[in-house]
Every structure is written in structure tokens, then in C-alpha cells.
């Protein structure tokens, strides 16, 4: 099962190494990881998507992450109402007779064309991973020349509908 | 979220000096008594300050010896062991010790020299990425980036190493910063918003545990080293007596409960005793206090405590539920938890049947071996060491068969008398760890129990023992083989003794004498008796080369993959 874990960490040297190291040391698989600054100076936010066999493994991951001195907070937000977004850049082959078709796919996905070349386009798409995935599948037959994805970044929505939110970090 | 109070304090006093000065000052503030260190290029500015700093400095003869000595010191003193090594090879030489300390939760503060900041990352002479190398085997590590932060970083390092679940902290110290003059606060505030170990257990969980105890028919406590770190042995005794709860010890937890107490069932695990292992197998309530359910303790997890409700008290939440599903998790300090538990009212368990059964197992299945005058039996030697030290020695071991015999035949009555490499199982640990143990307790009778192979991994530390005239009794259990490996090859590999028998061995007596240390070769029990009488009280080191039976095996044994009820060799 896929789980989304978010961390806030002190932005100190080696902190990312510490996190990824822990995943490999404990034999956990990361699907994606994204890192960036937050509203607070010196604090970064990391979003990890992991694929685990069961909830127990995910609980272990969050606990182990929490033990890192530079990690301030770890939350498994998978069971909360979240906003999760990923960005992908796709360079796709576009020939005169396929260009219109490609444009017609872009629109319903609210993707956009950000660069046009002689025989290729660069498309930018944002959304939940599944949407990005679906779009890539659709565009594949036209010939993807290059693809770059950021990995998911996420946080909980302001209002949670249920109170089933699971938070492992306060054990 | 960030500890705001920490930032609003009035600006503290500052002091002026080089980075190395600030380092020494910080060590003094932490009341460091002894440094285990080895100089080299990158730490020369630091060594120039150590020269007349007044703190005892021990020069091991190999950095690995230095860090193992610091581990022994930490285990006995309860304080952080301090290590200094130079950059590159000095730093990589301590890697095994860091991994060992990490596994066994020993508090260390380790300083490694680093090349000057300007050349970091250029593969400069004696540069090694020690932060990268040690990230997975330290509780925390970091590099000093400016003179100003030195006092704070060192204070934080001691705090991290010694609180919560203890562990090693490494500080990488670039050479130029050690020489640089700067101004820094003398009493800095710790700023660790991500580090707040939970000490006080949740009251509701304690209640739940107390209720489980009162209805249990077959309760047992598994007491680990967490009790020792929390200095909670007295409370464990009080609680066990109050509720009449039998106690099983882990290897590293030996001494946390008096072995001669009627409620003590002894050590469990791969070479633990029948009663302890069967108690874990049969119990209906298992209360783990400060142990981590290591695989050498549990055997095959499928068969571990199959009938039990498991309660687990641990200061490290990540240990709870890691290996064994836990119904009653209690996160907190063992001392806090026990002090809450002894105050709970509720009836004591009705478990007389269980206690009778345990008692009969104890009588029926004690540790056993067949004695002989010749060749000398290692178990007998261990018993004699116990007798001649009145059971009051500090026993430090290396790794192998002798380690298990020490655990079996030296029943500890008091806490903090036992130093062994449990989690990593590091050969070469014993001799230097004994150095540290003796430095932590100068008046103790320290016995280093070593195999002939493990001794040869750290022989050079005899020089330190001589230099400081540490009255360590070095007992080599000389079976002329890698005994534990030989045992496994005998049992699991059809007696194909691949590289486990040692045909060439130095003369250990002459070797010790070369270091100026008295030594004896001992081949019989009567010889052992008279020589031990002579040397046990001596105020100088002595090396005893016990020529023990070569093909003796450690029993009982839980073979790999087997459950704790599937011991072999439980009886003659
Ligand atoms: C550094 C290291 N290398 C290898 C091993 C594997 N090992 C475990 S016990 C053992 C044999 C130890 O022989 P010795 O020191 O003579 O002790 P004995 O078992 O004979 O008592 C070996 C090789 C180890 N634990 N540590």
C-alpha cells in the first residue's frame, strides 16, 4: 500500500542524507521524495511516498524517522484529507499531423504547453500522481522524448471531515 | 514548536579563544575525567591544548582500542565516554566501535579531526567523509562550521549521547576551526527542537499493565539493559517482590536483577538457561522492560511467547512493536515506569502453579558441564573466577564461547558489573573495554574474559594496561581455536573445521612479559586454584593463559531458526 509521510526537518547539512540513509538501512522503499523550504526559516519540509506491505511497517518508518535529531515532526497523512500534488515535465514528439491531437488531450487535463520546438513540445502537468500517471499513459503513443517528475508534495487540508486522522508521530 | 524560551534568554557570557580552547573548556564543563585519544595531523591544534589541560588522556595503541575503552568506561561509569581520533584513517579506525556503541546504546562523544574547511571535498590528504560513513551508526553526527557554535554543539552532543536512549554522537572538527580564534558563549543554550525523549509514561498504559498483572496466571518480566541505563534496579527489585513476578534477564541486562534472588530465572536467549527460555515460551503475560527483542534472545519469532500478552516499556518508541506485536506499549524511562507501577494498587497475581513449575524447572535444568582435572574445563575456570573474586568483580568479555560461559557462570548480584559486546558481537572488544572499565572504577576487581583469538585482535592494548598499571586480571580461555565458529562447524557443517583451528599461536606468557606484565600458563584445576589465590588481590595486571579443553561446546543452545522452546543440550 502507498503511504504519504511528511516531515519537517531542521535544514542542517546532511539532513537529507540522514533520511534517505535510514530508508536504505532499514530496507524500506521510497517511491518519491520531495524537499523544499517552508514558511519558517531554517526548516524544510520533506514529503515521502512509500510503498509498504502493511501499516506496521509504515509505523516503524515514522518512528525511525522521528528518532533523527534534526527531524522535528513526522506525520503519516495517508488517512487524512490531503492536498497532494506532483508536477511533471514531458517532452513529447509532435509532428504537424499529431499536434492538434496532443493539444486536445492537454486541455481536459489542464496541462499546459510551455515550450514549442520544431518537432517537439514540452508539456507541464500538475495534479495528483494518478492524474499525472494517466496523462503520461495517454501521451505515450506520440513518443515521449524526455520525462521529469518532481514526486508528490502534500499536506493535510485545512478542514478534516472525519476525526479518524491517524498520526503516528506522537507515540 | 521551536523552544522559544531557549531563544529569549539573556545573552550569556562569552569567552575568547581558539576552537581547540573552546573544545577543552566544553569538556571541562561536562566534567570529563578521561579522554581516549590518538593524535594526528588534523587534531594537532587540539592536542596542543590537551598537552597541559589537566584531563587524563589515555593513548590506546590503536584507535579501535580507544573507542572500545570508552565504551567500557561508559558502561561502568554511566557517563559519556570521550574519544578523539584524527581525520581519515584515525576516523575510519573507530567505525567498528561506533557501530558497537550504537547497537548497545552506549553514550559516547567522539571527536574526529577533519581536513581544513577550504579543502573539504577535494580528496585532500587524510580526508574521509566520516559524516557520510557514520550516519547510520551514530545517534547523531555533525560537523563544526564555526568557532562560535563549538560550546553549543558540544553541549548538545553530551545531552544527546546521555539522555533518552543513549548512543554515540560524533563531532567532526575541521583543523582550521580548531586553530581559529573566536568568541563564543560559555554557557550556551541547547537548541534541539526535534529531540525531546518521552520520559514519563502514559498513566493509562501503566494502569492497563497493572491490571494485566493482577489477572495474569503466568507472568514474567524480561529485564534488559534499559533498567541499567535508567538506574532502576532497586525499583525493579521492589516491584518484583511486591507482585512476586519472576525475572528473566537478557544478555546485556545481566546484573539488573540479583541472580541469586529466588525470583530470578536467569538469562534467556540462544545460550540462556532452560527455565528462562521456557518461561518466555509458556508465559501468559510478558513484561519487557528495556530490552529490544533481539533475535538472539527470541529465536524464531513465530514461536516466541506464543501465548502471551506482551507489554513493553521502552524509552525508544521505535523498539515497541518492531519485532514483537505489543498489546500494552509503554513509552518512557524504566525508572519512571517502575516507580509508577509500584504505586498502583490491585491484587497480586494468583500464580502459585506457575511459580511451582518455574521452581521445579530451575532444580531440574541448571547449567551443566562435565568436569575433568585435565583438560581444564572452561566452565570450571569461570566458576573459579567467580569464587576467587567473591562474585564481586567487574567482568568484561570478548565475543565467543567464553563470553557465553561468563554470562552463565558468573551470576551477578549487582548492576553495572558486566561489560560485553552484545548487539554487534565485536571480537577485539574485551581487552580495551576492560581498560575503560577499570579507569571508571579504580578499586574494582576487573576480570577480562577473553578468547585466544579475540585477544589477538587487541593485544596491543597490553601497553596501556602496563602504562597505567591497571590491575586487570586478563583471563584467556585458550582453546587454540575460534571456539564459537568451531562449535557451529561441528554442529551445522559436519565437522568441517574451515579455518577455525589455530595451529600457530604466540606464547602468551612471553608476550605479556614483553609488555612487562606478569603471566602464567595454567593447565589444571589445582594450578588454577593456587595461582588465582596468589594474583586475584594483586595491585598490578596479570595475564592468565588458561589452557582449556579444545572441543567444549556451549549449551544449552537454540539453533538458528528454532523457537525458544527447542533448546538442545539442556541436560547431561
Ligand atoms: C570482528 C569479528 N570477526 C569475526 C567474528 C565471528 N566470530 C564470532 S565468535 C568467533 C570465535 C572467537 O574465538 P575466540 O576469541 O578464541 O573465543 P572462543 O569462542 O574460542 O571462546 C568468531 C570468529 C566476530 N564476532 N567479530
Find out whether the beta carbon of B425 lies less than 6 Å from any atom of ligand 1. Answer: yes
Distance (Å, whole) CA B318 – CA B42: 37
**Is A68 close to B136, i.e. CB distance below 8 A?**
no
Find out whether the beta carbon of B430 lies less than 6 Å from any atom of ligand 1. Answer: no
Q: Are B29 and B150 in contact (CB under 8 A)?
A: no
C-alpha cell at A15: 539532513
Give the pLDDT score at B11. Answer: 47
**Is B143 close to A21, i.e. CB distance below 8 A?**
no
C-alpha cell at B124: 585532500
For residue B50, what is the enclosing H or E element? Answer: helix B44-50
In a 13 Å sphere around the CA of B61, the CA atoms on its Cβ side amount to 16
Q: How far is the CA of B425 from the centre of ligand 1 (A)?
A: 8
Q: Mark whether B525 is an active-site residue.
A: no
Mutate to test the pocket of ligand 1, among B400, B498, B503 (most ligand atoms within 8 A of CB): B400
Query: Of B146, B165, B191, B194, which to mutate for an interface test with A (greatest number of A Cβ within 10 Å)?
Result: B194
Find out whether the beta carbon of B479 lies less than 6 Å from any atom of ligand 1. Answer: yes
**Is A17 close to B132, i.e. CB distance below 8 A?**
yes
Confidence of residue A162 (pLDDT cuts 50, 70, 90): low
Question: Which is catalytic among the residues B126, B143, B244, B460?
Answer: B126
Cβ of residue A136 closer than 8 Å to a chain B Cβ? no
Distance (Å, whole) CA A151 – CA A48: 8
Distance (Å, whole) CA B164 – CA B310: 22
The answer to whether residue A165 scores a pLDDT higher than 80 is no
**Mean pLDDT of all residues belonging to chain A:** 91
**Is A10 close to B331, i.e. CB distance below 8 A?**
no
Q: Mark whether B126 is an active-site residue.
A: yes
CB under 8 Å to A57, separation ≥6 — which residues?
A: A28
Residues of chain B with pLDDT under 70: 1-12
Q: Mark whether B125 is an active-site residue.
A: yes
**Is B1 close to A14, i.e. CB distance below 8 A?**
no
Mutate to test the pocket of ligand 1, among B482, B545, B560 (most ligand atoms within 8 A of CB): B482
Query: Of A67, A68, A74, which to mutate for an interface test with B (greatest number of B Cβ within 10 Å)?
Result: A67
Q: What is the ipTM of this complex?
A: 0.90
Give the pLDDT score at B164. Answer: 98
Task: Give the strand pairing for A120-127 and A112-116.
Answer: antiparallel
Q: How far is the CA of B454 from the centre of ligand 1 (A)?
A: 6
Walk me through the domains of chain A, giving residue ranges and CATH numbers. Answer: 2-76 (3.30.70.260), 83-155 (3.30.70.1150)
**Is A56 close to B321, i.e. CB distance below 8 A?**
yes
Find out whether the beta carbon of B476 lies less than 6 Å from any atom of ligand 1. Answer: no
C-alpha cell at B371: 568436569
Give the pLDDT score at A169. Answer: 37
Question: Shortest CB distance from B194 goes to which of A10, A56, A171?
Answer: A10
Give the pLDDT score at B18. Answer: 96
- Give the mean model confidence (pLDDT) for residues A43-53: 95
Q: Mark whether B63 is an active-site residue.
A: yes
Measure Cα distances from A35 to A59, A62, A70, B458, B473 in Å.
21, 17, 14, 45, 55
Residue A70: its chain B contacts at CB < 8 A? 194
Residue B152: its chain A contacts at CB < 8 A? none
Give the pLDDT score at A161. Answer: 67
Question: Shortest CB distance from A171 goes to which of B193, B317, B322?
Answer: B317
When computed from its CA atoms, the radius of gyration of chain A, rounded to whole angstroms, is 19
Mutate to test the pocket of ligand 1, among B484, B497, B502 (most ligand atoms within 8 A of CB): B484
Give the pLDDT score at B4. Answer: 44
Q: Please write down the HEC assignment for all residues of B525-567.
A: HHHHHHHHHHHCCCCCCEEEEEEECCCCCCCCECCCCCECCCC
- Give the mean model confidence (pLDDT) for residues A108-137: 96
Distance (Å, whole) CA B448 – CA B431: 6
Residue B323: its chain A contacts at CB < 8 A? none
Q: Mark whether B492 is an active-site residue.
A: no
Q: Is B226 left (phi over 0), alpha (psi -120 to 50) or beta?
A: alpha
For residue A50, what is the enclosing H or E element? Answer: strand A43-51
Measure Cα distances from B148 to B74, B144, B193, B337, B495 in Å.
28, 9, 20, 40, 62
Q: How far is the CA of B427 from the centre of ligand 1 (A)?
A: 6
Longest C-alpha distance within chain A, in Å?
Answer: 59
Give the pLDDT score at B2. Answer: 42
Q: Mind listing the pLDDT tens digit for each residue in A88-98? A: 999 999 999 99
Give the pLDDT score at B12. Answer: 52
Question: Shortest CB distance from A64 goes to which of B143, B318, B331?
Answer: B318
Question: Shortest CB distance from B321 goes to which of A14, A59, A72?
Answer: A59
Question: Shortest CB distance from A69 goes to which of B194, B320, B329?
Answer: B194
C-alpha cell at B212: 494485566
Walk me through the domains of chain B, giving residue ranges and CATH numbers. Answer: 13-185 (3.40.50.970), 203-364 (3.40.50.1220), 378-555 (3.40.50.970)
Q: Using the atom order of ligand 1, give the atom closest to the CA of residue B450.
A: 15
Amino acid at each position: 500500500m502507498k503511504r504519504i509521510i511528511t516531515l519537517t526537518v531542521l535544514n542542517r547539512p546532511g539532513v537529507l542524507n540522514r533520511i534517505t540513509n535510514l530508508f536504505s538501512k532499514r530496507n524500506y522503499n521510497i517511491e518519491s521524495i520531495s524537499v523544499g523550504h517552508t514558511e519558517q526559516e531554517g526548516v524544510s519540509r520533506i514529503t515521502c511516498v512509500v510503498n509498504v506491505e502493511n501499516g506496521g511497517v509504515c509505523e516503524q518508518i515514522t518512528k525511525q524517522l522521528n528518532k533523527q535529531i534534526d527531524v522535528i515532526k513526522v506525520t503519516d497523512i495517508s488517512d487524512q484529507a490531503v492536498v497532494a500534488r506532483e508536477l511533471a515535465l514531458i517532452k513529447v514528439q509532435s509532428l504537424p499531423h499529431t499536434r492538434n491531437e496532443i493539444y486536445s488531450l492537454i486541455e481536459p487535463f489542464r496541462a499546459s504547453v510551455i515550450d514549442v520546438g520544431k518537432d517537439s513540445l514540452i508539456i507541464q502537468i500538475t495534479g495528483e500522481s494518478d492524474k499525472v500517471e494517466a496523462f503520461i499513459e495517454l501521451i505515450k503513443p506520440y513518443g515521449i522524448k524526455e520525462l521529469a517528475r518532481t514526486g508528490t508534495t502534500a499536506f493535510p487540508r485545512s478542514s478534516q471531515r472525519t476525526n479518524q486522522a491517524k498520526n503516528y508521530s506522537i507515540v | 514548536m521551536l523552544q522559544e524560551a531557549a531563544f529569549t534568554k539573556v545573552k550569556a557570557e562569552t569567552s575568547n579563544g581558539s576552537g581547540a580552547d573552546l573544545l577543552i573548556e566544553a569538556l571541562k564543563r561536562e566534567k570529563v575525567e578521561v579522554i581516549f585519544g590518538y593524535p594526528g595531523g588534523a587534531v594537532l591544534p587540539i592536542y596542543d591544548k590537551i598537552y597541559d589541560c589537566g584531563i587524563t588522556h589515555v593513548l590506546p595503541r590503536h584507535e579501535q582500542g580507544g573507542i572500545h575503552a570508552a565504551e567500557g568506561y561508559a558502561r561502568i561509569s554511566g557517563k559519556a565516554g570521550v574519544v578523539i581520533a584524527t581525520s581519515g584513517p584515525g576516523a575510519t579506525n573507530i567505525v567498528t566501535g561506533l557501530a558497537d556503541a550504537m547497537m548497545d546504546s552506549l553514550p559516547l562523544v567522539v571527536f574526529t579531526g577533519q581536513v581544513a574547511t577550504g579543502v573539504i571535498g577535494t580528496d585532500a590528504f587524510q580526508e574521509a567523509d566520516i559524516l557520510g560513513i557514520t550516519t547510520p551508526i551514530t545517534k547523531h553526527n555533525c560537523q563544526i562550521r564555526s568557532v562560535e557554535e563549538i560550546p553549543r554543539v558540544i553541549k548538545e552532543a553530551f545531552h544527546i549521547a546521555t539522555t533518552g536512549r543513549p548512543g554515540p554522537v560524533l563531532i567532526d572538527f575541521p583543523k582550521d576551526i580548531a586553530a581559529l580564534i573566536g568568541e563564543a558563549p560559555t554557557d550556551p543554550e541547547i537548541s534541539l527542537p526535534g529531540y525531546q525523549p518521552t520520559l514519563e509514561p502514559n498513566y493509562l498504559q501503566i494502569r492497563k499493565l497493572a491490571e494485566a498483572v493482577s489477572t495474569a496466571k503466568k507472568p514474567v518480566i524480561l529485564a534488559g539493559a534499559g533498567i541499567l541505563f535508567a538506574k532502576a534496579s532497586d525499583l525493579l527489585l521492589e516491584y518484583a517482590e511486591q507482585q512476586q513476578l519472576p525475572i528473566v534477564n537478557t544478555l546485556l541486562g545481566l546484573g539488573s536483577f540479583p541472580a541469586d534472588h529466588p525470583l530470578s530465572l536467569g538469562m534467556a536467549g540462544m545460550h540462556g538457561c532452560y527455565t528462562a527460555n521456557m518461561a518466555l515460551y509458556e508465559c501468559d503475560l510478558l513484561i519487557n522492560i528495556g530490552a529490544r527483542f533481539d533475535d538472539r534472545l527470541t529465536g524464531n519469532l513465530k514461536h516466541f511467547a506464543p501465548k502471551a500478552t506482551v507489554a513493553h516499556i521502552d524509552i525508544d518508541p521505535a523498539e515497541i512493536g518492531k519485532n514483537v506485536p505489543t498489546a500494552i506499549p509503554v513509552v518512557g524511562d524504566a525508572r519512571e515506569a517502575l516507580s509508577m507501577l509500584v504505586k498502583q494498587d490491585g491484587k497480586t497475581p494468583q500464580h502459585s502453579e506457575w511459580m511451582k513449575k518455574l521452581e521445579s524447572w530451575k532444580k531440574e535444568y541448571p547449567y551443566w558441564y562435565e568436569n575433568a582435572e585435565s583438560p581444564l574445563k572452561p566452565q570450571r575456570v569461570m566458576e573459579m573466577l567467580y569464587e576467587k573474586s567473591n562474585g564481586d568483580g567487574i567482568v568484561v568479555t570478548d565475543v565467543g564461547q567464553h563470553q557465553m560461559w561468563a554470562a552463565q557462570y558468573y551470576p551477578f548480584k549487582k548492576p553495572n558489573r558486566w561489560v560485553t559486546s552484545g548487539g554487534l558481537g565485536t571480537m577485539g572488544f574485551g581487552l580495551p573495554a576492560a581498560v575503560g572499565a577499570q579507569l571508571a572504577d579504580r578499586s574494582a576487581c576487573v576480570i577480562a574474559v577473553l578468547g585466544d583469538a579475540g585477544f589477538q585482535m587487541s593485544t596491543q592494548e597490553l601497553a596501556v594496561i602496563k602504562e597505567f598499571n591497571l590491575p586487570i586480571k586478563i583471563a584467556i580461555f585458550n582453546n587454540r581455536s575460534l571456539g564459537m565458529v568451531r562449535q557451529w562447524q561441528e554442529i551445522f557443517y559436519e565437522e568441517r573445521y574451515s579455518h577455525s583451528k589455530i595451529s600457530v599461536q604466540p606464547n602468551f606468557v612471553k608476550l605479556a612479559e614483553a609488555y612487562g606484565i606478569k603471566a602464567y600458563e595454567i593447565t589444571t584445576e589445582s594450578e588454577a586454584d593456587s595461582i588465582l589465590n596468589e594474583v586475584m588481590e594483586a595491585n598490578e595486571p596479570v595475564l592468565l593463559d588458561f589452557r582449556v579443553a579444545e572441543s567444549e561446546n556451549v549449551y544449552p543452545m537454540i539453533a538458528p531458526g528454532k523457537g525458544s522452546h527447542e533448546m538442545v543440550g539442556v541436560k547431561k
